Chain A
Amino acid sequence: MSKLAKVVSQDVKKCFGEVRALDGVSIEIEDGAFVVLLGPSGCGKTTFMRCISGLEELTDGKIYFDDKEISRLQPKDRNVAMVFQSYAVWPHMKVRENIAYPLKLKKFSKEEIEQKVKWAADLLNISELLSRYPSQLSGGQRQRVAVARAIVHRPEVLLMDEPLSNLDALLRVKMRSELKKLHEQLKVTTIYVTHDQVEAMTMGDKIAVMNSGRIIQYGTPEEIYKKPATAFVAGFIGSPQMNFFKCDVVEENGQQYAKFEHVRFKIPSRINNRSVIVGIRPENVSLEPPKGSDSITLEATVYFIERLMPETILHLDVGNAKSRITAKLPNDLVLPEGKKIEVFVSTESLHFFDAETEERIL
């Protein structure tokens, strides 16, 4: 069994000229964990990964593997491996040579190299491709070669940069579970970059949501879904996107409400904010009042209906300002467009964010 490393980054900054790609990233990744860096394009997730690999030099800050600072080491001295988005399987070497190359550079003996290449090739199901050139492989096969090459020398940290984005949808789903199983077998500390929230939710032990060069929230997929730290995270995770209402806080008979036109969202505990953003996940909107809990009734007009079979997504106009919300219902349903209906949201499922900072209040 090889050594696993805990990865710690302290206030890592990276500037490209005037542009601040990373604006103080601090994170502690437990050894053996599978952590996903998730964010929109340009949020700095790939740059951060490249800083960990050593392909980019830090402008400021420090990165440790366990207690050893590695921020100024060359990539080759860090014992990391990387799976590139374009796979970067060397075209002038056969598959066997590609996988063996990291071992060769680390001066393993011939017998050891042969044995380890066989092990990695078996693990990734590419044994029969070993004497082919990359140009003779499909995208999915090249991907497997890239992964085999990355794990063959048992790195302390495995980095993956959107490894599935160039595969077709079916293969992506298949590889998702395979990569996760592979991690369960190898237990190597893995950092996985993606902009796809489904990949993040299904693969990550933990997810670090990034935006504008910072980590906005770091937690388990469940925490991030149930208790998003900011309105940005709430909007980024979940499909369709969370519905937001910008509300003023009003008080009646000692009870605070967030008021949106004539709708009043009951605020469960006392807050000091003047205005808030109320968030409702589409899957928490239902056509019948929820049993056993307080709920809010919204009057809405059906604007458009998407029948996904068996799920249904309703696009609804609410209130005078014609705010459009979406509702995700678990069953198939037919409603005429323009029909006026009532929908219900349980008070417990409401998310409250500060209107200024967009940070979570409740």
Chain B
Amino acid sequence: MKIIYPLLFILIACFFLGPMFLAFVASITPASEFYDYSHIFPSRLTLEHINKLLFTLGGFRALIVSIEVALISIGISFALGIPAGYAIARYTFRGKDGVKLAMLFTRSLPLIVVAVSLVTVYMRLNLTDTALGVALAHAAMILPFVVIFTSSIFSSTFIEYEEAGMVFGLTRFGAFLRISLPLALPGLAASAIYGFIMSWNETFAASILSIQNRTLPAHILATAMASPDYFKYAMATVMAIPALIFIFIIRKYLISIWGISLK
């Protein structure tokens, strides 16, 4: 057993990381060696494709839009989601379970379905092709997660901390602001990063709702087919790296924000 488990883990890790690694290597392989099948690893490495993708082919601009969209959608979904999550964690009210279930049901509706009808609404509201427009659609996608995450975060911070705050001189809202919120901060930060990645990776709604101001994945989708293969790999690398870094940072919170206890 002592040998089998590590072997199994290595196998699984290779399964997931192998393609990513190969894509990464391909993205820094010079064009001249790209179709040379005599060796896997190139004789020299280059950042040329990534450079070109970002600065000549409009990738950098799309990256900025992506970040803009992600930040706005996190802002909106947190402004609405934190109070909702707090309420679910702290209060019992009629239909609470129904609300929680409905949150999960929103996941069964593909965003593409929403996006199509959104286009017609956005045209009337002049929101098409704006970062705010895409961000609103993303906020709708992220919000249920924020509610579920924050409710499990607040459930795990003892209510006695808040009550002590109230007894010693804080109002109810003050106790939330000064006691529970600081205690929840690491979890909230992890949820924010998770939301960021969801928005960062979302392609379909972004493609439909924008034309000029495309987010990075939408931009890549629009241009990938027409590009040489090594650009495709450069795109994959540019997309994957921020997500990987962020997930690595929040890895130990991923379990707690899902409300799973491993005890």
Contact = CB atoms under 8 A, between A and B. Distances in A.
- Chain B interface size range: 10 to 19
Contacts of B164: 82, 84, 88, 90
Nearest to A152: B168
Contacts of A81: 167-168
A337 B172 CA distance: 62
A76 B183 contact: no
Contacts of A287: none
Contact of B160 (A54, A88, A149): A88
Contacts of B167: 53-55, 75-76, 80-82
Interface in A46-69: 53-55
A84 B166 contact: no
B163 interface: yes
Interface string B148-162: 000000000010110
A85 B160 CA distance: 9
Contacts of A74: 166, 171-172
Contact of A75 (B161, B166, B183): B166
Interface string A79-104: 01110111010111000000001100
Given A88-B158, A92-B183, A55 B168 contact: no
A322 interface: no
A194 B160 CA distance: 18
A105 interface: yes
Interface string B164-205: 111111111000000100110000000000000000000000
A88 B163 contact: yes
A76 B169 CA distance: 4
A90 B179 contact: yes
A106 interface: yes
B166 A102 contact: no
A54 B167 CA distance: 8
Nearest to B164: A88
Given A55-B166, A91-B183, A76 B160 contact: no
A311 B186 CA distance: 56
A75 B172 CA distance: 9
A82 B167 CA distance: 7
Nearest to A50: B163
Interface centre among B160, B161, B165, by most A CB within 10 Å? B160
B170 A105 contact: yes
Contacts of B166: 54-55, 74-76
B182 to A, nearest CB: 5
Contacts of A91: 161, 183
Given A86-B158, A91-B183, A92-B183, A76 B163 contact: no
Contact of B168 (A85, A86, A92, A105): A105
A233 B158 CA distance: 34
Nearest to A92: B182
Contacts of B169: 76, 101-102, 105-106
Contacts of B168: 76, 81, 101-102, 105, 149, 153
Nearest to B182: A92
B187 to A, nearest CB: 13
Interface centre among B160, B168, B170, B182, by most A CB within 10 Å? B168
Given A55-B166, A74-B166, A92-B182, A86 B160 contact: yes
Nearest to A17: B92
Given A91-B183, A92-B182, A92-B183, A84 B171 contact: no
Nearest to A106: B169
Nearest to B183: A92
A49 to B, nearest CB: 11
B188 to A, nearest CB: 13
A90 B182 CA distance: 10
B170 A76 contact: yes
A6 to B, nearest CB: 20
A80 B163 CA distance: 12
Interface centre among B163, B171, B172, by most A CB within 10 Å? B163
Contacts of A82: 163-164, 167
Contacts of A85: 160
Interface centre among A81, A88, A149, by most B CB within 10 Å? A88
Contacts of A84: 160, 163-164
Contacts of B172: 74
A3 to B, nearest CB: 17
A70 B165 CA distance: 19
Nearest to B185: A92
A88 B171 contact: no
19 contacts: A54-B166, A74-B171, A75-B163, A76-B167, A76-B168, A76-B170, A80-B167, A81-B167, A82-B163, A84-B163, A86-B160, A88-B160, A88-B161, A90-B164, A90-B165, A91-B161, A91-B183, A105-B168, A105-B169
Interface of B: 158, 160-161, 163-172, 179, 182-183
Given A88-B163, A102-B168, 20 more contacts: A53-B167, A54-B167, A55-B163, A55-B167, A74-B166, A75-B163, A75-B166, A75-B167, A82-B163, A82-B167, A84-B164, A85-B160, A86-B158, A88-B158, A88-B161, A90-B165, A92-B183, A101-B169, A102-B169, A153-B168
Interface of A: 53-55, 74-76, 80-82, 84-86, 88, 90-92, 101-102, 105-106, 149, 153
Closest 8 CB pairs of A and B: A105-B169, A88-B160, A102-B168, A88-B164, A75-B166, A82-B167, A76-B169, A75-B167
